[in-house]
Amino acid sequence: MVAITGEFTRRFVKNKIAVAGLVVVIFLFVVALAAPYLAPYPPDEIHTSSILAPPSRAHLMGTDILGRDVLSRVIYGAGVSLSVGFVAVGISIAIGMLLGALSGYYRGPVDSIIMRFVDVMLCFPSFFLILAVIALIGPSIWNIMIVIGVTSWMGVTRLVRAEFLSIRERDFVQAAVSQGASDARIIFLHILPNSMAPVLVAATLGVAAAVLIESSLSFLGIGVQPPDPSWGNILTEGKDNIEIAWWLSVFPGLAILITVLGYNLLGEGIRDSLDPRLRR
């Protein structure tokens, strides 16, 4: 394990693009955690004398239609977007790992039932399914987290199932079976820890996807509701005032771009570092 970890670290550090993604992710964490100290103003503080003011020394990213500081709202929006991303991915990973483990380990009828359910879920366009559910239960940050999580586990299920089908036939698993180990022990102590590499990559890329979905929902008005700051609802104001307030679209758009790019680069770097075919 130590040798594998050392090899992974060596390959990851040599991948400059992956390191850049990690730096971006760490930076976003720092911004989200330190938002009360980094933001120059409270995110809902109104400055009636500076409505739709362009970027200046007082407001580095300008102000919105209520005179609120855009920089402060973008900084606080980082915490909202990352919270949605991590909670939603946590839910999807938990569901996907459980179903994938059951499907790959027991095979037979259990595998058939679970994979047909996966096929049915994949028939629905994920974003439109999320829109429909949110429209039924109402928009809120917790509803968004849960809905994104319970509608995005199918890919993880397939990854974990494939890993279980492969690892289940290896000698150390067969040895555990011959010694009378229980199914739960074999699944959670022997197979699952050895099938985490693709799950880690999927989780990293899933955060980026969840941030995009949350921003899209907020942009459409059924995501995080004002006055809570979200990159998506800032973009909505930018759409309505694009001709006179370009900063309302540019800065939150750049925040989304940098976040998604950072997580995608990190995920690709982890995948390349874990791929044995690329090891020299």
Full domain range(s) for residue 219: 2-46+64-278
Residue with the bigger pLDDT between 54 and 279: it is: 54
pTM for the full predicted model = 0.86
Residue 196 in domain: yes
pLDDT of res. 261: 92
Residue 228 in domain: yes
Residue 126 in domain: yes
Residue 92 has pLDDT above 90, yes or no: yes
pLDDT tens digits along 40-88:
999 888 888 888 888 988 888 988 888 899 999 999 999 888 888 899 9
Residue 206 in domain: yes
pLDDT of res. 2: 43
pLDDT of res. 276: 54
- What average pLDDT does range 239-243 have in this prediction? 82
Residue 54 in domain: no
Residue 53 in domain: no
What domain count does the chain have?
1
Residue 59 in domain: no
Q: Could you give the 3-state DSSP secondary structure of residue 41?
A: coil
Q: How far apart are CA 126 and CA 209, in angstroms?
A: 11
CATH number for the domain that contains residue 18: 1.10.3720.10
pLDDT of res. 97: 92
- What average pLDDT does range 165-184 have in this prediction? 83
- Given a contact cutoff of 8 angstroms between Cβ atoms, the answer to whether 270 and 204 are in contact is yes
Q: How far apart are CA 7 and CA 150, in angstroms?
A: 35
- What average pLDDT does range 8-36 have in this prediction? 88
Q: How far apart are CA 73 and CA 241, in angstroms?
A: 17
Buried-state track 167-196, b at ≥16 Cβ within 10 A, e below 16: bbeeeebeebeeeeeeeeebbeebbbeebe
Per-residue pLDDT band for 143 (boundaries 50, 70, 90) equals confident
Residue 55 in domain: no
pLDDT of res. 99: 92
